[in-house]
Structure 1
Amino acid sequence: MTTSTHYIGRFAPSPSGPLHFGSLVAALGSYLQARAQGGTWIVRMEDLDPPREMPGAADDILRTLEAYGLHWDGGVMYQSHRHDAYHAQIDAWLANQQAYYCQCSRKQIKEAGGFYPGTCRDRHLPATDSAIRLKVDQPVTRFVDQLHGTMHIPAALAAEDFIIRRRDGLFAYNLAVVLDDIEQGITEVVRGADLIEPTGRQIGLYRLLGHPEVSYLHLPLAVTENGNKLSKQNHAPAIDKANPNPALIAALRFLGQQPPADLAASSTAEILRWATEHWQLSKVPNTTAITLGF
């Protein structure tokens, strides 16, 4: 595990489809935030949910990043290779009663008001047909975002004992992302604003694990005119590997940077060199969503 104060950032896509413009914005923003500080930029594949994954998508994502000149440092971590680490931490929490088995259905939680009320906390249920929840005794209701300033999390959400392993045996995102960020020595997480809400839970995990929390920077989401986030689930079109410059320039402008008009005719390496030298976080729009105009 890395303990250096050197900046280490990452881009962590899920292989549920090819990269689209919204994921390019997240990749480019995290890349420039790292490179502008002379830091390390890592790619991690968040392949936690096989039913949602598309065959070949992980390799396609890596080839797309290469086509766009977004070259990462070191090897690629795959969450599917980290199950032993997730198991070990959950077993430790079960042993000290920081975690517990829960058999509540989504319907029951909805009927209880939409937030899990701790029904199974002290029932000592068996492992069979159960999810595993983490006891939240010290809710995190606010954090400082590097772009947006102080962000507030609804108290009911912050206080909820949340799932760390699903009933079907799959590990939860919040658990995996924190353990992986610690393992890789990540110092700042740069990602889309759709992940603001779980940030409180993740900070709580750092504190529970006795590890210094990272800083967070949530970039604006690219949304369509009807307000939908560009996503693989919404069938957002894949970005073009054969002609990366237009999307690269568009992503820079989306992030508030002002590339000169003639830069579009340069190589991807030259575009990224200019972008790294001129990267200014203060120019990134201080909003959680931007409607695409193309």
Structure 2
Amino acid sequence: MELRLAENIARFRKSRGYTQEELAKRLSISSQAVSKWENAQSLPDISLLPALAGLLETDIDTLMGYIPKKKAVTPYEERYKIEEYYWGTMPGEMCLELLRRCYPTRPLRLLEVGCGEGKDAVFFARNGYQVTAFDVTESGIEKAKRLADIHQVEVNFFRADLHDYRLDEEFDVIYSSGVFHHILPELRREIMENYIAHTAPGGMHAINVFVEKPFIPVPPDSDGGENWVSGELFTYYRDWLLEECRETVFDCRSGGIGHKHCMDTVFARKLPENGGKENGGF
């Protein structure tokens, strides 16, 4: 908790344009105290938390790294409460592509960002990956855990909001499908750099994003995200090996009504400094 709180104080302070001295002055404390908070050397006094959260334009739960159960941040919270699986239980096509590119000849640490009801995370676990997966929906995480129990695999499922959650451990693979349009444009660079920094040399990102196109109407079951600009995703991997990057327009019937999407997809590998592949060439 201390590390998460420290990271959140620093991140929200910077995003609101405060220096440590300015924040300290507004709270009537020393700048050294703020520095110690951000370096996880001490914790704010509980009496300062309301004022601190207010100045940083957030709430205490978010600052501490929690998501209140009453906080519905996506329509999928309700959509996942039905008995059947909203997206089904078959893995997406990207899962098979990733399996071919990063076959786990040894246990590979895989993170799925925005796992929904867990179908892809469970697929990866069944194929030998060490899987960690998070989603913002409580209902989705509950169904994901049930699916893992059915298939008798172990997945570290937990609930988190991708706007607030940052990685503090390294992964071999980071995978996400149909989620990144929920990242606010002003947070994209920070989040992408965090994911890139916490990817092992030789590791891979398999990610797709919805792309804005003037000839494609807003889908009938829009979940309120903001589509990316065509090609924007690929720019974050200019120092990586782009094994594949593509843009496709496809038909979809989610929500029961036919519509179209445009999506950019990247399979990018983080090469070690010597330019080769490490860890058995996974």
Same-fold status (TM-score > 0.5): no
Larger RCO: Structure 1 or Structure 2 (Cα < 8 Å, ≥ 6 residues apart)? Answer: 1
- Taking structure 2 as the reference length, the TM-score comes to 0.30
- Relative to the length of structure 1, the TM-score reads 0.29
